[in-house]
Amino acid sequence: MKKIGRLDRPDNFGSAKIFSNPILERISRTHISIPITLFLVISSVSLYFGMTATSIPFSFGFAILVLGLFVFTFLEYMMHKHFFHMEPNTPIRSKLQYGIHGVHHDYPKDKDRLAMPPFVSAAYVAVLHLVFTLLIGDYALYFLPGFLIGYATYLGVHYAVHAYNPPENILKILWKNHAIHHYKDPDTAFGVSSPLWDYLLGTLPKKE
């Protein structure tokens, strides 16, 4: 897999300019709290309608919610490994990779580019709601909150591992794995919110 990011500059502060248009450049940035709040609010509304507008028992609905969370962790891993780290073997793929993820590897301390802009996040939610509803009907009202809670957790963890020192508890492994991914071996540790899929699919960082 093609290496991306500047592994020789582990404390690369600053920011890249992606768009020459100042308006596009500004709206390409967002504070992490905005998409997290958006996802949690939409999750709450969806869950409310699932509980009040359907005959789905809450116990079963909660199981569907957990399934949505589990599915997100897998999608997080697969997107990070196969889309964010795609081979930049054409000019279009190279530009796309840099815009969506390579810039983050070059400037990992840039906190304004740790999440998609709000209008992009809202569009994602609309598409996900439509797809889930077409696939599973009313169960989407429980599945979507689980998926979005997973997404919000991913954003929160990703922000924390770049903004704060690692805690002295079991969560420290998230900081360690992501640091290895950024500064030593970007072909490992694709799971950000959980090492589960790295463990199952053999991409955990090798122990020295």
In order, the DSSP letters of 10-75 are TT--S-----SSHHHHHHT---THHHHHHHHHHHHHHHHHHHHSS---HHHHHHHHHHHHHHHHHH
CB atoms within 10 A of CB 53: 10
User: What is the pLDDT at residue 8?
Assistant: 44
Residue 50: C-alpha distances to residues 54, 55, 57, 64, 161 (Å) = 6, 8, 9, 11, 34
Residue 139's closest CA among 80, 29, 64, 66?
Answer: 64
Regarding predicted confidence, which is higher, 75 or 121?
Answer: 75
pTM: 0.84
Distance separating alpha carbons of residues 30 and 120, to the nearest angstrom:
11
Q: Where are the domains of the chain?
A: 31-201
Q: Which residue type, as a one-letter code, is found at position 37?
A: T
- Alpha-carbon dihedral 193, 127, 41, 56, rounded to 10 degrees: -90
**Structure-block tokens of residue 100:** 């969506």
Q: Mean pLDDT, to the nearest integer, of 93-116?
A: 66
**Structure-block tokens of residue 197:** 């899929």
Distance separating alpha carbons of residues 165 and 161, to the nearest angstrom:
7
Name the band, by pLDDT with cuts 50, 70 and 90, for residue 1. Answer: very low
User: What is the pLDDT at residue 90?
Assistant: 78
User: What is the pLDDT at residue 7?
Assistant: 43
User: What is the pLDDT at residue 10?
Assistant: 46
* Mean pLDDT over the full length of the chain: 84
Q: pLDDT tens, 17-74? A: 665 666 656 666 788 899 999 999 999 999 999 999 999 999 999 999 999 999 999 9
Residue 99's closest CA among 111, 82, 116?
Answer: 116
Residue with tokens 């599915």: 71
Regarding predicted confidence, which is higher, 95 or 156?
Answer: 156
Residue 179: C-alpha distances to residues 22, 162, 176, 193 (Å) = 32, 9, 5, 13
Residue 67's closest CA among 155, 159, 132?
Answer: 132
Q: pLDDT tens, 137-162? A: 999 999 999 999 999 999 999 989 88
